[in-house]
Amino acid sequence: MREILPALSRWYADGAPFGLATVVAVSRSAPREPGAAMAVGPGDEVVGSVSGGCVEGAVFELAQEVVASGEARLETFGYSDEDAFAVGLTCGGEITLLVRPVTAALDPSFGAVAESVTAGRPVTVATVTDGPALRGATLAVWPDEVSGSLGASGLDVAVTADARGELAQGATGQRHYGPHGERREDAVTVFLHSFAPPPRMLVFGAIDYAAAVARIGDFLGYRVTVCDARPVFATPKRFPEGVEVVVDWPHRYLHTTATDGRTVVCVLTHDPKFDVPLLEEALRRPAAYIGAMGSRRTHDNRMKRLREAGLGEHELARLRSPVGLDLGARTPEEVAVSVAAEIVALRWGGSGAPLTATAGAIHPRERPRVRPREQ
């Protein structure tokens, strides 16, 4: 949803009502993840997507209807093979959408939420989707602040606690409660949409490959930093706009930089005096991915040095080296695609094999709860 926020913020500031459709649940081979959004604003302007084109026409009409009625609706779309002209998904999956009207009167916290997301301040938006509560009611939860209400104080208290827990993980999904927040009941369904700050990608070594990796990292939604001890190479003009460039010894910079379970570390220094102390630091701290460039001979030498530095086999097993998937890549841009493909595959548990060589559902029913780019 981040990518459509500029339009939504403009409509909201202008006082123009709009219909916001959000994916709140998926099953099987659904094309989009929970949190994906589409909106219909003034002049029938459309932004975003909830299915990659399968049901957007029907959602467009739903969005217009909820704006006219002022009432939110919950709709499910699945596969339709009996009628070729029926509205449905072509991928065999199923998506459930909450389509709600947004105005300053109905959602007074929307502007503050949009500002927080844009500024990188973490916030979770809780929205009632079903049950004996006002469908479409929202509660915005920050680490130290709450705004709005779901209609019952007990429900607000329970959802606030869960929302902060989900926010700490950067997770998005549905929770179930009793009408007054009872934990062991499931009468009320609430969708918790977490907007954690973008995950970080730390690229070490300001070589030509680094510019390509930084570019694709930015495209995937990471906040990218490139670090190199050599000022002649670590210059902002060599990298995409928005990429932070730091001149420092890589291991020293990493030692003073916070990482978490979503952080990606790409070591492209290709020089033992840089990459060995850097990897010694990286492999002992939280990270989703740690990859290092180099030939197999370089890898073997690097592993020997890391063992001599005291790293154990469990720590060394986290290292993806040589970095990337076997795509036959040659150019920096192709290598960047290879690295990005490995990051995505590791994150979602993909095999990296061609889909034509696999069988079964493309997207498994059980999905990881934490996503690297918030919708």
Q: Pairing relation of β-strands 289-292 and 264-267?
A: parallel
If you ran DSSP here, which 8-state letter would residue 370 be given? B
Q: What is the pLDDT of residue 92?
A: 59
Q: What is the pLDDT of residue 87?
A: 54
Average pLDDT value over all residues in the chain:
89
**Position 369 in a domain:** no
For residues 331 and 241, membership in a common domain is answered with yes
pLDDT in tens, 198-255: 889 999 999 889 999 999 999 888 999 999 999 999 999 999 888 999 999 999 999 9
For residues 163 and 299, membership in a common domain is answered with no
Task: Mention every residue, 6+ apart, whose C-beta is less than 8 A from residue 237.
Answer: none
Q: Rounded to whole angstroms, how far apart are CA atoms 290 and 316?
A: 10
Report residue 144: phi and psi, to 5°: -130, 20
For residues 46 and 151, membership in a common domain is answered with no
Top-confidence residue, 372 or 69:
69
Residue 81 scores a pLDDT above 60: no
Q: Which of 45-49, 195-199, 263-267, 294-298 shows the lowest per-residue confidence on average (mean pLDDT)?
A: 195-199
- How many domains is the chain partitioned into structurally? 3
**Position 171 in a domain:** yes
Closest CA to 130 of 33, 24, 34, 56: 24
Q: Rounded to whole angstroms, how far apart are CA atoms 102 and 67?
A: 8
Q: Rounded to whole angstroms, how far apart are CA atoms 307 and 315?
A: 10
8 Å CB contact between 139 and 159:
yes
**Position 358 in a domain:** no
Q: Among residues 166, 197, 228, which one ends one of the domains? A: 197
Neighbours of 9 (CB within 10 A): 17
Each as own residue / partner, the long-range contacts of residues 102-110 (CB below 8 Å, 24 or more positions apart, any chain) are: 102/8, 102/12, 102/17, 102/18, 102/19, 102/20, 102/39, 103/15, 103/17, 104/12, 104/15, 106/70, 106/136, 107/138, 107/148, 108/147, 108/148, 109/138, 109/140, 109/147, 109/148, 110/8, 110/12, 110/138
8 Å CB contact between 71 and 98:
no
Q: Rounded to whole angstroms, how far apart are CA atoms 131 and 177?
A: 9
**Position 354 in a domain:** no
**Position 310 in a domain:** yes
8 Å CB contact between 201 and 266:
yes
For residues 59 and 149, membership in a common domain is answered with no
For residues 58 and 159, membership in a common domain is answered with no
Percent of the chain with pLDDT over 70: 91
For residues 86 and 176, membership in a common domain is answered with no
Q: What angle do CA 352, 262, 140 make, to 5 degrees?
A: 125
Please state the rounded mean pLDDT for residues 296-301: 93
Q: Among residues 41, 71, 106, which one ends one of the domains? A: 106
**Position 363 in a domain:** no
Phi-psi region of 171 (alpha: psi -120 to 50; beta: other; left: phi over 0): beta
Residue 332, preceding bond cis, omega within 30 degrees? no
For residues 63 and 37, membership in a common domain is answered with yes
**Position 227 in a domain:** yes
Please state the rounded mean pLDDT for residues 28-54: 86
Q: What is the pLDDT of residue 364?
A: 56
Q: Among residues 91, 106, 121, which one ends one of the domains? A: 106
For residues 321 and 218, membership in a common domain is answered with yes
For residues 211 and 278, membership in a common domain is answered with yes
For residues 216 and 193, membership in a common domain is answered with no
Give the pair of three-digit tokens for residue 41: 């604003």
Neighbours of 369 (CB within 10 A): 13
Instruction: Residue 295: give its domain's CATH number.
Output: 3.40.50.720
Q: Rounded to whole angstroms, how far apart are CA atoms 292 and 205?
A: 10
Closest CA to 215 of 285, 266, 290: 266
For residues 207 and 344, membership in a common domain is answered with yes
pLDDT in tens, 301-344: 999 999 999 999 999 999 999 999 999 999 999 999 999 999 99
For residues 50 and 142, membership in a common domain is answered with no
pLDDT band at 350 (very low <50, low <70, confident <90, very high): confident
**Position 111 in a domain:** no
Domain span at 15: 1-106
